[in-house]
Amino acid sequence: MALKQIDPVRWVLERDFKIGMKVTGLIYGDSYIIQNLEKEGALTQIANVACLPGILKHSFAMPDVHWGYGFPIGGVAAFSLNEGIISPGGVGYDISCGVRVMLTFIEEKEVASCIDELTAALFSRVPCGVGSKGALKISETELLSVLAKGALWAVKKGYGRSEDLECIEERGTLPHANPDAVSKKAIERGKPQLGTLGSGNHFLEIQVIDEIYDENVARQFGLNPGQVTVMIHCGSRGLGHQVCDDYIKVMHRAMNKYGISVPDRQLCCAPLKSEEAKQYLGAMQAAANYALANREIIGHLVREVFGDFFPKSDLKLLYDVSHNMAHIEKHDVEGKQADVCVHRKGATRAFPPGHPSLPEKYRQVGQPVIIPGSMGTESYILVGTKRGMEECFASTCHGAGRVLSRKAAMKSEKADTILKRLEDRGIKVMAETIGTVREEIPEAYKDVSRVVDVVEKAGISRKVARLRPLAVIKG
Amino acid sequence: MPWVELPHTADAGLEITASSVEDLVTEAARGFYAFMFGEVSLVRSAEEHTVELECMDLLELFVSWLNELLYIYDTREKVFFPETIEVDPKRARLLAKGNLHIAPSLARAVKAVTYGGAEVSEGPPWRLRVYLDL
């Protein structure tokens, strides 16, 4: 068998699994995760990524790995700047889809007394659902400014706070964004959607910290037992989807030009040194800036709603991080520091203590890593580690990871039954479409606690706190 | 039914069959809309629309066609069932003309039509398989 277990949570996919693999696959998982993985197409996708030119170390799969398109979801791959490539399929359609956690200074009992009204107010204030239009009406010129400046744009326009910026990856602005590389079609799609949550697995959740695992790091992050938090999960909406689609076509042509062949067309790519790669990087960063601004604006709307209910309350941003991105980062490659292009498709960057990119207040302990659970289950705050930096390009999981297809999930239970079951556990759910509730049942996902235990046992990130849901808003 | 839904862990697939390449364009649109909206009863608008595509090959043509329908929905909240369709499969060109219709309420959101696992086979019968990012 090509899959070889090397320790309780590490499995190697040997190069003889598929002709053309340039490196082995390294999969993080326990027996339950590996059994699920073998039932579907994700192993082939891990092997396909290992065939890409200039890949370094391994084609990695985090324990929330599952069958995606092109890259598996939970896939991480880094490429040399000289011999390597960039692939829009390694980032995905929802460019810079990610999560943020905001900390309130309110306790669970205070929120419990008004949870129905608070959830309804958030549902009404934060536009969600497919094709939802944002509360902001902006011109095309303003949108170009969003694409160039990201969350900084939102802060300058009064939809956020300047102190938020240091707690957003890249300080809220991807510096090499090129709005000119974004098509008219993408701009047309993105203009009315700024400040919207979207649909599918995107959500806004009110949570409470119910367990602390690392008191020292939790103190540094400002996390206390019983404290209410808000988690926001969304991305770059139609703008990002269009950028990905536009550049997949560019890459198909580039592959002919540069003589590259790939085992799956969704993995189409161009050499990192090429003009096509520069254009894509510029457009991708612009779409990421849109996503960072989007989450900052939604965070502002959440602050307004909480302010109506708790006038003395304040919400502080813990961190905001993407899990669908390609970043140029400095890593150790064969004993030397080198710039490499790290693709994380459904995987989270997790910088260790001391990393220069981290804000001063987190530099001593490491980056907060946000791992949302499925609807109705716990979420986690982790912290990045030195081992993760050295072994898998400072990456970790991004969630629970699906095990059940949406079609199968839709057949399992009626929406009313699901909502009642969650309400019995003290979790209020409001959703724009009933179909979303059925597709997103907790059983459609792996047990997030098990996924998080794997990354902790592997030492690539460490548990800090667990968050229990009180109310969920879905698109 | 000329289309079936294929299972996928996170997303969903569609397989569409038709007797000619022009019918495959029509049936792909029908299947795609049926996935998104369920039953589609049309309310025609006065807005005329043309889609013109020149692609690298037939697979890119079909993926682009469905992504174009998504773009129309995303920006105008309309659906497009063309009345005339011309396809040149060798040159991977498509010209579709017709009216836009008011979109029904959405049942399932689609982010994009992907190339992952996508295939088109020439017929008859013509067959298209695509996976959707949801």
The residue of chain A with its CA nearest to that of B36 is A130
Contact B115 A248 (CB under 8 A): yes
- What does the alpha-carbon distance between residue A318 and residue A40 come to, in Å, rounded to a whole number? 36
The residue of chain B with its CA nearest to that of A67 is B9
Asked which of A211-215, A219-223, A403-407, A448-452 is least confident by mean pLDDT, the reply is A403-407
User: Any alpha helices (H) in A364-447, and if so which ranges?
Assistant: 386-392, 406-412, 415-424, 434-439
pLDDT at A132: 64
Residue B116 distance to chain A (closest CA, Å): 5
Fold of domain A3-474: tRNA-splicing ligase RtcB (3.90.1860)
A130 — pLDDT class (breaks 50, 70, 90): low
Residue B57 distance to chain A (closest CA, Å): 10
- What does the alpha-carbon distance between residue A287 and residue A282 come to, in Å, rounded to a whole number? 9
C-beta separation of A230 from A135 below 8 A? no
Pairing of the two strands A3-7 and B84-88: unpaired
**Token duo for residue B104:** 């029904």
Say yes or no to pLDDT of A1 above 70. Answer: no
Contact B10 A73 (CB under 8 A): yes
- Give CA separation, A122 vs A126, A302, A308, A370, in Å: 6, 7, 11, 21
Say yes or no to pLDDT of B89 above 70. Answer: yes
- What does the alpha-carbon distance between residue A164 and residue A160 come to, in Å, rounded to a whole number? 7
Interface of B with A (CB under 8 A): 5, 7-12, 56, 59-60, 64, 67, 70-71, 73-75, 77, 106-109, 111-112, 114-118, 131, 133-134
Which helix H or strand E contains A46, and what residues bound it?
helix A42-50
Give per-residue pLDDT as tens, A231-264. Answer: 999 999 999 999 999 999 999 999 999 999 999 9
Which chain A residues are closer than 8 Å to B77 by Cβ?
131
**Rounded to 5°, angle at Cα A182 from A176 and A185:** 160
A370 closest CA partner among A135, A133, A101: A101
A416 — pLDDT class (breaks 50, 70, 90): confident
B102 closest CA partner among B33, B8, B52, B51: B33
- What does the alpha-carbon distance between residue A351 and residue A12 come to, in Å, rounded to a whole number? 24
A131 — pLDDT class (breaks 50, 70, 90): low
Contact A406 B116 (CB under 8 A): no
A383 — pLDDT class (breaks 50, 70, 90): very high
Which chain A residues are closer than 8 Å to B109 by Cβ?
130, 198-200, 433, 436, 475
**Token duo for residue A140:** 């095309």
The residue of chain A with its CA nearest to that of B75 is A189
Instruction: Delimit the domains of chain A by residue range.
Output: 3-474
Return mean pLDDT, chain B: 91
Contact A245 B112 (CB under 8 A): yes
| Omega prior to B124 cis, within 30 of 0 | yes
Fold of domain B3-133: Archease, Possible Chaperone; Chain: A; domain 1 (3.55.10)
Is position A398 annotated as part of the catalytic site? yes
Say yes or no to pLDDT of A175 above 90. Answer: yes
